[in-house]
């Protein structure tokens, strides 16, 4: 074992309170009251606005004596102009908190509105690579996150991926002092997710775990959590795909997704760097795009993962820890989940390689990929999937 990392300094932190359990969305009003919030803005995406869980959430708030408004003008890949509208509603409605409910888009929109609502900074002032504006923890509104897919893992931190509609790229925003006050995990909310979305969002969670674990550097909290998230998602995903009502496996997926989301505090990798830009350019589903990319990116990164692949293979229950068995298992999983084999099948046009590669290398996730990347190397990975 290499003990040299223990001679260096590190900074580790751990995220937010989590409440888990079946049917616990009913308690959201109670949780808001406990945190002295009385008039939240509920944020979700357009596709979720009419779903029963949004009504259930608002009913719970009302029963607890709280008033609220609903903002749902949010695309699958949330846009900067939508965040401006949400912020305006937050301010005109004099809200004191954001309750974000949904998949990645609803949660990211809620977080972005919360980031910008109580200050005069512009949205892109919060871009990940920039120095965070000087804002104290207490100057942000309270944020509660309620995931309805087991995939994004976005419920325990403040990063949000948004499309810059002027430059047509996705940018990551966050603030180190802005964290959800609570993540509420209720597996019942994921039961009605259609099989294809269950698969796509589930592979997003698996990609988080694998890419986070692959990021170089010592982070014992994130590394352990990544392996446990990987084990849970890999074990439960085929079960919920074939049997959507398997509530215990739905619970395993939701917790596995949350763990995988915590793990990527450490960073992500090339699958996400490419996926972010493909999503911004062609509006593809984030999890599906990752699913198409994951195995090719892993094969590309394999020379740098000699010590880590056996541990990942062990985590997903393989007896043979060789890279080939690990890749073969993941490729079989993609087939079992009916994931298309190439990017053309998900609406990405041929001829986009250079453009995608030039944008992806600037993505924050490319900087933590275990193998150093260049535009030609990224282009070769993309081209192999067209
Ligand atoms: Fe992701």
pLDDT digits (tens, 9 = 90+) for 202-250: 999 999 999 999 999 889 999 999 999 999 999 999 999 999 999 999 9
pLDDT of residue 2: 72
- Dist. CA 1 → ligand 1 center (Å): 31
pLDDT of residue 3: 66
pLDDT beyond 70 at 258: yes
- Dist. CA 205 → ligand 1 center (Å): 7
- Dist. CA 192 → ligand 1 center (Å): 21
- Dist. CA 153 → ligand 1 center (Å): 8
338: enclosing H helix or E strand = none
pLDDT band at residue 6 using 50, 70 and 90 as cut-offs: low
- Dist. CA 92 → ligand 1 center (Å): 32
Q: Which percentage of the chain shows pLDDT scores above 90? A: 87
Give the CA angle between residues 88, 90, 95 to the nearest 5°: 155
Q: How far is CA 171 from CA 24, 190, 216, 278, in A?
A: 33, 27, 23, 12
| pLDDT averaged over every residue in the chain | 94
- Dist. CA 158 → ligand 1 center (Å): 14
Q: Tell me the β-bridge partners of 162.
A: 171
Output the pTM of the full model: 0.90
- Dist. CA 96 → ligand 1 center (Å): 29
- Dist. CA 133 → ligand 1 center (Å): 25
- Dist. CA 51 → ligand 1 center (Å): 23
Distance CA 58, CA 2 (A): 52
pLDDT of residue 106: 95
């Amino acid at each position: 074992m290499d003990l040299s990392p223990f001679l260096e300094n590190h900074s580790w932190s751990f995220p937010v309170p989590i409440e888990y359990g079946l049917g616990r969305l009913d308690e959201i009003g109670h949780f808001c009251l406990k945190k002295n919030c009385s008039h939240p803005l509920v944020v979700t995406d357009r596709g979720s606005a009419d779903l029963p869980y949004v009504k259930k959430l608002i009913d719970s708030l009302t029963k607890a004596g709280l008033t609220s408004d609903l903002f749902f003008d949010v695309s699958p890949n949330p846009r900067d102009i939508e965040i401006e509208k949400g912020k305006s509603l937050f301010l005109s409605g004099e809200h004191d908190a954001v309750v974000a409910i949904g998949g990645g888009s609803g949660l990211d929109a809620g977080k972005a509105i919360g980031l910008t609502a109580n200050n005069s900074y512009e949205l892109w002032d919060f871009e990940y690579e920039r120095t965070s504006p000087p804002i104290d923890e207490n100057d942000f509104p309270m944020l509660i996150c309620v995931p309805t897919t087991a995939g994004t893992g976005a419920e325990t931190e403040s990063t949000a991926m948004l499309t810059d509609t002027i430059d047509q790229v996705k940018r990551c925003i966050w603030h180190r002092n802005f964290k959800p006050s609570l993540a509420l995990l209720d597996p019942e909310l994921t039961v009605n997710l259609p099989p294809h979305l269950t698969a796509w969002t589930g592979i997003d969670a698996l990609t988080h775990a694998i890419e986070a674990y692959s990021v170089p550097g010592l982070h014992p909290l994130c590394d352990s959590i990544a392996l446990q998230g990987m084990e849970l998602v890999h074990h439960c995903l085929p079960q919920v795909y074939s049997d959507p009502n398997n509530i215990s496996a739905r619970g395993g997926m939701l917790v596995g997704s949350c763990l995988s989301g915590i793990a990527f505090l450490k960073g992500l990798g090339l699958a996400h760097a490419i996926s972010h830009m493909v999503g911004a350019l062609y509006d593809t589903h984030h999890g599906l795009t990752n699913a198409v990319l994951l195995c090719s990116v892993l094969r590309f990164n394999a020379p740098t993962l000699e010590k880590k692949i056996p541990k990942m293979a062990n985590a997903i229950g393989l007896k043979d820890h060789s890279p080939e068995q690990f890749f073969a298992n993941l490729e079989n999983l993609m087939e079992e989940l009916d994931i298309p084999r190439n990017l053309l099948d998900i609406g990405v046009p041929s001829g986009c390689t250079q453009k995608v590669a030039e944008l992806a290398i600037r993505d924050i996730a490319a900087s933590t990929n275990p193998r150093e990347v260049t535009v030609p190397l990224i282009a070769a990975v993309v081209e192999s999937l067209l």
